[in-house]
A = this chain, B = another copy of it.
């Protein structure tokens, strides 16, 4: 009997999807909510939510929808990306073909999560700017730190009062307390790898 039980011989289907519990917890934390806060928003008890997050109680679709709304995601968040990655790698790896997408309707901007969850000290995001696309003049005045590496294309970056032209292979780092904007002045798509610490979405 050479086979160990944790290594089954046949394993046709990819793997079981990740239960939603941890996902809810991660998302709640990154939103800075407590169980109480989420309970208030959803009109649900703290004890119940605690059990849901630890997969002791199952959630029905309507309930999950409520929770999703309170956490400001669409319900399909919980079935995208890493949520349906093979169990033996979902805590570590985010495959290129299986990322969670954050759409920014109207702007030519897409962001895709490269981190499997929000529980670490930083988060990686792959950003794509269509020609001419720009981030709004959002002043992320939170605490924290941002890093970026331009994989392809051109980027015009403004940090506080200073403006920089960034080319492929250039990297940058700034405190997220500084107001910052960026836009793609080029004719090609610009691709940036962002690092955000602490994770925020």
Contacts and interface: CB of A to CB of B under 8 A. Distances in A.
Interface of A: 88-89, 92-97, 114-116, 120-122, 124, 126, 145, 147, 149, 151, 159, 162, 164, 166-174, 193, 195, 197-198
Nearest to A116: B173
B124 A147 contact: yes
Contacts of A167: 96
User: Which A-B residue pairs are the 4 nearest by beta carbons?
Assistant: A96-B169, A114-B171, A94-B171, A121-B197
A88 B121 contact: no
Nearest to A117: B173
Given A94-B171, A171-B114, A173-B116, A195 B124 contact: yes
Nearest to A88: B162
A96 B195 contact: no
A169 B140 CA distance: 27
B193 A96 contact: no
Contacts of A94: 170-172
A9 to B, nearest CB: 19
A159 B92 CA distance: 9
Contacts of A198: 121
A97 B151 CA distance: 14
A44 to B, nearest CB: 31
A49 B114 CA distance: 42
Contacts of A97: 169
A92 B174 contact: yes
Contact of A121 (B92, B114, B121, B168): B121
A162 B93 CA distance: 12
Contact of A92 (B124, B164, B168): B164
Given A95-B169, A96-B169, 16 more contacts: A92-B164, A92-B173, A95-B170, A115-B171, A115-B173, A120-B197, A121-B121, A121-B122, A121-B145, A121-B197, A122-B122, A122-B147, A124-B195, A126-B149, A147-B195, A151-B151
